[in-house]
């Protein structure tokens, strides 16, 4: 409702949504924000997403359907695998 109201009131202002995934519904919330008119939504690399972080980027891109996110899942997975290593240099 908020994104739709902002979009109607300010049609030319970019809307960027940031949230955390504490309740576990962040991917669905970001998709709903996009559908309501948000221009950008935040996500986190899969291995660092969820809870007090942002929703999963991989899950968001995989769930985006026909939306062109300009992101490739294979690249997202490689990036997530890198950070999941957990090695201290």
Closest CA to 11 of 37, 47, 44, 48: 37
Given a cut of 90, whether residue 89 has pLDDT beyond it is no
Provide the pLDDT for residue 15.
Answer: 98
Tokens of 13: 């202002």
User: 């996110």: which residue's tokens?
Assistant: 69
| pTM for this entry | 0.85
Given a cut of 60, whether residue 22 has pLDDT beyond it is yes
Provide φ and ψ at 53, rounded to 5°: -100, -175
**Using one digit for the tens of pLDDT, what is the confidence trace for 50-60?**
999 999 999 99
Provide the pLDDT for residue 58.
Answer: 96
Provide the pLDDT for residue 80.
Answer: 87
Given a cut of 90, whether residue 83 has pLDDT beyond it is no
Percent of the chain with pLDDT over 70: 96
Output the DSSP codes for 69-85.
-S--HHHHHHHHHHHHT
Band (31; pLDDT cuts 50, 70, 90): very high
């Amino acid at each position: 409702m908020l994104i739709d109201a902002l979009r109607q009131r300010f049609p030319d202002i970019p809307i960027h949504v940031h949230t955390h995934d504490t309740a576990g519904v962040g991917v669905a919330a970001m998709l709903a924000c996009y559908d309501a008119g948000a221009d950008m939504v935040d996500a986190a690399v899969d291995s660092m997403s969820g809870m007090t972080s942002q929703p999963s980027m991989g899950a968001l891109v995989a769930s985006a359907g026909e939306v062109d996110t300009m992101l490739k899942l294979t690249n997202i997975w490689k990036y997530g695998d890198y950070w999941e290593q957990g090695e201290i240099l």
